[in-house]
């Protein structure tokens, strides 16, 4: 179970597809996002690696430091297969002492993927600020650098009023149930929807189902009406709606949809026909048949 999460099997390749290494990177990222939510329910995914215990712990280990004992014990007790796998890699400090290069390689790969997640989040926030305020290319580049280097710059960015609808969205009850919706005006960018998911995943319980397709309220939406929206439903019936993702063809948008569905840890998300469903159907429900609530 834990090895499946850490190094999942990939379906056989076909047609024009991204390189295998980038698929593998996406698989590792989604496993890590799922592991974070499972091990830290209610805790936001940190924007900065400096605030991230996975990055800090792996960084300390890889630079030759000891693995903090309490951290290891605490996570070993958790029921999370995913983070347990991370912890096993971290605890591989013992193996490293015995010259186990494989474990160290795992640690390097996990740390890299985790840093990519923080980078994705901060990059999308900076881009959104630039898009919203009309900042030119130079200011955008300078601010991205600042945010990556200085903690205070990241805090200032997160506090920007221009980012408020994205960083601090309110619940929308007009659908009859609480919906947290990515602002449609953010542009239909797959990575931006991933960033919105990273920012707000912790506000939901276990995610149990998803739908993709045309919905009345999507069509009614005034600004940036999207052709489809990915909706994720949690165990309490709350909805996380992402407006930058698509399905029905092989491209960036559907790959983003796959990424989110796997990171959400939906039931049966490891099945190969999830990929076929996302690439071939413009509207779908996952899992295909309603299932009794798990856990």
284-286 and 239-242 as β-strands: parallel, antiparallel, unpaired?
A: unpaired
The interface region with Zn ion, picked from 109-117, 166-174, 218-226, 264-272 by CB under 5 A, is 109-117
- With binding defined as CB under 5 A, does residue 111 bind Zn ion? no
The interface region with Zn ion, picked from 20-28, 110-118, 134-142, 201-209 by CB under 5 A, is 110-118
The interface region with Zn ion, picked from 33-41, 50-58, 89-97, 102-110 by CB under 5 A, is 50-58
- With binding defined as CB under 5 A, does residue 52 bind Zn ion? yes
d(CA 191, CA 123): 9
d(CA 196, CA 175): 20
- Name the residue nearer to Zn ion (CB basis): 5 or 278: 5
Mention every residue, 6+ apart, whose C-beta is less than 8 A from residue 139.
Answer: 130
Q: Tell me how far apart the 2 most distant CA atoms of the chain are, in Å.
A: 62
- Name the residue nearer to Zn ion (CB basis): 89 or 274: 89
Tokens linked to 66: 């000891």
The interface region with Zn ion, picked from 12-20, 42-50, 77-85, 202-210 by CB under 5 A, is 42-50
| Cβ at position 66, least distance to Zn ion in Å | 19
Q: How many residues in the shown chain lie near Zn ion by CB under 5 A?
A: 5
Output the CA–CA distances (angstroms, integers) from residue 200 to 33, 119, 232, 239, in the order listed: 12, 17, 12, 11
| Cβ at position 93, least distance to Zn ion in Å | 18
Mention every residue, 6+ apart, whose C-beta is less than 8 A from residue 281.
Answer: 212, 247, 248
The interface region with Zn ion, picked from 26-34, 111-119, 232-240, 248-256 by CB under 5 A, is 111-119
For residue 153, the tally of other CB atoms under 10 A from its CB is 17
d(CA 10, CA 91): 26
- With binding defined as CB under 5 A, does residue 114 bind Zn ion? yes
- With binding defined as CB under 5 A, does residue 55 bind Zn ion? yes
- Name the residue nearer to Zn ion (CB basis): 33 or 52: 52
Residue 91 near residue 7, CB atoms below 8 Å: no
Q: DSSP 3-state assignment of 102?
A: helix
| Cβ at position 213, least distance to Zn ion in Å | 33
Among 54, 87, 121, 239, binds Zn ion (CB under 5 A): 54
- With binding defined as CB under 5 A, does residue 269 bind Zn ion? no
- With binding defined as CB under 5 A, does residue 37 bind Zn ion? no
Sheet with 207-213, strands from edge to edge, namely 179-181, 239-242, 229-234, 207-213, 284-286
Output the CA–CA distances (angstroms, integers) from residue 107 to 61, 157, 201, 230, in the order listed: 9, 30, 25, 32
- With binding defined as CB under 5 A, does residue 201 bind Zn ion? no
- With binding defined as CB under 5 A, does residue 121 bind Zn ion? no
- Name the residue nearer to Zn ion (CB basis): 200 or 231: 200
- With binding defined as CB under 5 A, does residue 93 bind Zn ion? no
Chain residues binding Zn ion by CB under 5 A are 49, 52, 54-55, 114
């Amino acid at each position: 179970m834990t090895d499946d999460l850490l190094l999942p099997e990939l379906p056989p390749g076909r047609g024009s597809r991204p390189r295998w290494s980038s698929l593998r990177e996406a698989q590792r990222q989604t496993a890590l996002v799922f592991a974070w939510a499972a091990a830290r329910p209610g805790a936001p995914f940190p924007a900065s690696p400096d605030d991230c215990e996975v990055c800090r712990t792996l960084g300390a280990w890889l630079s030759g430091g000891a693995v903090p004992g309490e951290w290891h014990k605490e996570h070993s007790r958790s029921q999370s297969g995913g983070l347990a796998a991370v912890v096993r890699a971290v605890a591989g400090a013992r193996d490293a002492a015995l010259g186990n290069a494989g474990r160290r390689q795992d640690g390097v790969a996990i740390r890299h993927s985790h840093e990519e997640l923080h980078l994705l989040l901060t990059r999308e926030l900076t881009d959104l600020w630039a898009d919203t305020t009309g900042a030119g290319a130079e200011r955008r580049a300078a601010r991205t650098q600042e945010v990556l280097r200085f903690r205070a710059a990241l805090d200032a960015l997160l506090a920007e009023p221009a980012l408020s609808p994205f960083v601090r969205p309110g619940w929308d009850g007009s659908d009859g149930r609480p919906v947290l919706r990515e602002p449609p005006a953010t542009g239909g960018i797959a990575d931006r929807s991933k960033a919105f998911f990273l920012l707000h995943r912790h506000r939901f319980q276990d995610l149990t189902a998803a739908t993709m397709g045309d919905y009345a309220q999507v069509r009614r939406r005034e600004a940036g009406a999207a052709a489809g929206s990915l909706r994720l439903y949690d165990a309490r019936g709350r909805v996380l709606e992402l407006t930058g993702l698509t399905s029905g063809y092989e491209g960036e948008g559907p790959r983003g949809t796959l990424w989110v569905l796997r990171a959400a840890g939906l039931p049966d998300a490891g099945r190969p026909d999830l990929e076929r469903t996302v690439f071939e159907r413009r509207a779908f429900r996952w899992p295909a048949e309603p299932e009794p609530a798990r856990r």
